[in-house]
Amino acid sequence: MKAEAYPVLEEPKTFFLAPLSKPAPGSAGKTGTWRTHKPVVNLEKCTGCLLCWLYCPENTVIKLENGKVAIDYEYCKGCGVCATSCPFDAIEMVPEV
């Protein structure tokens, strides 16, 4: 067969900034007393880029009305993905007290 017989598929032109689906907050359940470190957001450094919100595997980063973020410590597991993904070092992992 000739190549013209096959349709040419174009690349999609839409880019998504968020996943099409996401887990419910704390999909693995509430955090017990076992968390050793927790993320603390420095709101002065936070630019509201939302990379921490995008990459949090437990959906515990909360978008605030002012464009900044907060952490839901009731479900946060302390994995540090949010702190690692922040390009502005606005999230620091501190020992749990």
Query: What local confidence, expressed as pLDDT, does residue 16 receive?
Result: 53
Q: Which of 15-29, 33-47, 57-71, 79-93 has the lowest mean pLDDT?
A: 15-29
Q: Percent of the chain at pLDDT above 70?
A: 71
Q: Which residues neighbour 81 within 8 Å (Cβ) at sequence distance 6 or greater?
A: 52, 55, 56, 57
Q: Domain map of the chain by residue range?
A: 25-97
Is the model's pLDDT at 64 over the cut of 80?
yes
Buried b (16+ CB within 10 A) or exposed e, 19-51: eeeeeebbeeeebeeeeebbbebeeeebeeebb
What is the architecture, at CATH level 2, of domain 25-97?
Answer: 2-Layer Sandwich (3.30)
Is the model's pLDDT at 12 over the cut of 60?
no
